[in-house]
Amino acid sequence: MNIPYTHESIRLTGRWDRGVDCATATATGSYIEFAFRGRMAVAKFNIVSNAQPRLHLWIQIDGGDMIEANIDSHIRVMAKNDGDHVCRIIYKGGTELDRRWYQPLTGKVSFVGVQTECPIEIAPDTRKTIEFVGDSITEGVLIDTDFNNGGEVLSTAVFDVMRCYQDDVCATYAWQTAEALGLRPIFMGYGAVGVTRA
């Protein structure tokens, strides 16, 4: 069964433009949660205008370990066993200079909905909300140097490909503070491409 992003089994957190066919976020840290019964579900995205290399997501089932993945038109998630599950997909990071303010948006998550045999109503999130407004530090730009060849200067071509791995909103003090305090984070961080830039 295909269900739209507006279904009661789905919750969006962050800054989302809720359109007719999909919900679109350009701020890292925005995330999707959906609840389903069974073992498997498929999250569906519109990636027609997304730039290469594609932005990265964190995917988590039932609050467990997070797996990093490139955004794609269909992302299949599978739980270890039957039962009720909640999947969370976080906009982890991407190439900072992708277009997130001006059309066509090339650095965005456009979430269409979920395909699953048995969607279930998602439990309410009763945590208080905290909002972080900032720039590249807030969205975790270049926070992970493990993919920067140990600090060695990389060629421009290699650096551009590796950027998706180096940016991680979940590794920032902002995200970690919200997690430690049990708060629901919302982010507004656009490094080098915000409204004050040409």
Using the CB atoms, write b or e for 127-162: b if 16+ within 10 Å: eeeeebeebbebbbbbbeeebbeeeeeeeeeeeeeb
For residue 94, which of 146, 36, 145, 142 has the smallest C-alpha distance?
142
% of the chain residues with pLDDT over 70: 88
Amino acid at 120: I
The pTM for the full model equals 0.91
pLDDT digit string (tens) for 138-166?
888 888 766 555 556 566 666 667 777 88
CB 58 within 8 A of CB 92: yes
Kindly report the backbone phi and psi dihedral angles of residue 31, in degrees, each rounded to the nearest multiple of 5, phi listed first.
Answer: -145, 160
